[in-house]
Amino acid sequence: MAWRYLSMSMFGSSGGDLSDDEQLQAAAIVASMERRKPHWGGSVFGHKIYKRDREGAERHLMQKYRMRKPLFLRIVDDVTAANSFFKQKRNAAGAKGFSPIHKCTAAMRVLAYGHAADLVDDILMMGESTVLKSVKEFVKTVNLVYGDKYLRPPTQQEVEEMMRANEAQGFPGMIGSIDCMHWEWANCPSGWHGMYKGHKGKPTMILEVVASQDLRIWHAFFGLPGSHNDINVLHRSPVFDDLANGKAPEVEFTVNGNLYTMGYYLADGIYPDWATLVKSVSGPISNKQKIYAQRQESCRKDVERTFGVLRAK
């Protein structure tokens, strides 16, 4: 009945031949079919079966691994414990499926290098649909497991510790350094090159970061096309959302006898003249200006060092 209802609609026939009850029943069947989850895995009659050497592919991927093994295994264990998708299972024939290491590697490879799913298929002997599913589940689970610990703004205690360390360097009230870097997108689709090509002449995506002296990243905003500059990124960034909504940690410091209740970030010269951004002196003349510019640029290297560590990874 549902097929009759659909075929009549597809070929332009009216529903006058169907009674009201038949139309309601057909609509209910179609709605239930749309809500039904897609079938995952299993054999399909008439489809070609691919012999995937899963175990051989896993031995191959462990030969050249650049990530520190203890860190990688900790991520794999935490993700597997939180999401049953990553657990190794057997099919109806008793053959082992992909291991947690295999699935996490596929997801990381797509995220780290921007590889297409079918390219990972050739390397790890994993089907395209399984690769895409692994990426989605990995991202969702990492946010669930590590979000509250790492993807968060600093607490009141952490802000006070940063302020004490920065005051010792001559910048009371400073709570980090902000800057942007261009991350080259080697696998950018050719149709998007114009939008993502910036001053470097190659397609890039921009990463905005706030980092502290210990290279801890307290804020990250990633994904805008490389054709933007730092000011465009700042205007779209949520870096000051907590401050605007009154949710930022309390800050209190004194400079030259004046009390201030709002912290600030060190920034380079392209950033706007805001109270929350402290820049260097362009073309310093006096000794005070020269010393200040030297100190500011020295402290602001925290974020540059952070970018260096990220690039080295």
The structure's pTM equals: 0.71
CB 298 within 8 A of CB 213: no
CA distance 149 to 127: 33
Q: Are 117 and 110 in contact (CB under 8 A)?
A: yes
pLDDT by residue for the chain (313 residues), tens only, comes to: 444 444 444 444 444 566 666 667 766 666 666 555 555 555 566 666 666 665 665 665 555 556 778 888 999 999 999 999 999 888 777 788 888 998 998 898 888 877 778 777 777 778 888 889 999 999 999 999 998 888 888 888 999 999 999 999 899 999 999 999 998 888 888 888 888 988 778 899 999 999 998 889 999 999 899 989 999 999 999 999 988 888 888 888 988 889 999 999 999 999 999 999 999 988 889 999 999 999 999 999 999 999 998 887 6
Residue 132: which region, alpha, beta or left (left: phi > 0; alpha: psi -120 to 50)? alpha
Q: Dihedral, CA atoms, 124, 129, 134, 135, nearest 10 degrees?
A: 100
